[in-house]
Chains A and B, each alone.
Chain A
Amino acid sequence: GQQLNQSPQSMFIQEGEDVSMNCTSSSIFNTWLWYKQEPGEGPVLLIALYKAGELTSNGRLTAQFGITRKDSFLNISASIPSDVGIYFCASGGGADGLTFGKGTHLIIQP
C-alpha cells in the first residue's frame, strides 16, 4: 500500500526555535494534510493543502505542497511550550481513507 515517510521521528528543541519537518512518498497525491495530536486526544487538523506548490499559513505554522506532488513540509516558527505533541502528515482521503505518516514527536526543552 501507499506509505508516507515522515522525518524526523523526534525533535528536541529549545523554546523560541523554529521547527521543520517533512513528509515524502513514492506516489503522487492530490491532498496533503497536517495534524497535531496531544496525549489522550484525537488528531487536530492544522493545515490542508490541495495544489502543487501551494504554501499555506496558520498562525506560526506554514506548510507547503511539493511541486512534484510527492512531498510536503511543515514549519513552526518561534516554538512555544504548547506546540509539544505529535505532528502527522496525511494524504488521500474520501472513500479510501487517509494514509498517515508515523509522526514527528516535538519535545521542547526548558
Chain B
Amino acid sequence: KAGVTQTPRYLIKTRGQQVTLSCSPISGHRSVSWYQQTPGQGLQFLFEYFSETQRNKGNFPGRFSGRQFSNSRSEMNVSTLELGDSALYLCASSFPGGPYEQYFGPGTRLTVT
C-alpha cells in the first residue's frame, strides 16, 4: 500500500506571498492532519480534516487554512507568508475514530525569504 505523499517536497517563497501544499493520504484513510515542525517549537498540530470538514484547529493564526476533498486528499494554504513560517510541514493520515495511529508523509520543507 502506498504511503502518504506530499507535494512539493521543497519550496522557497518570499515574505508576503501565499503557498499551497498538497497531501494524499494512505488509501482508505479518511482523516488527514497537518503539523508544523520547527527547531524551536517542535511538532505542532495545525488542523485535522475528516469528510471534507475541519474538526479541530491548533493554535495558529487565520493565515493558516486548509481543505479536504471528497477523495480525502487535502491541501493547506498559508497566506501573507512571514519569515517565521519557514518550517517542515507534515501531513498524516489515519482511520477516523481510532486507533489513533497516524502515518506521516515526508513533509514539505518551506523556506520563506
Contacts and interface: CB of A to CB of B under 8 A. Distances in A.
Interface residues of A, number: 26
A100 B43 contact: yes
Counting contact residues on chain B (CB < 8 A from A), the size range is 20 to 34
Given A95-B56, A98-B33, A42 B107 contact: yes
Interface stretch (B62-70, B71-79, B90-98): B90-98
B interface SS class: strand
Given A95-B55, A98-B45, A102-B42, A45 B101 contact: yes
B105 interface: yes
A103 B101 CA distance: 18
Interface of B: 4, 31, 33, 35, 42-48, 50, 55-56, 58-59, 90, 92, 94, 96-107
Interface of A: 1, 31, 33, 35, 40-45, 48, 50, 88, 90, 92-103
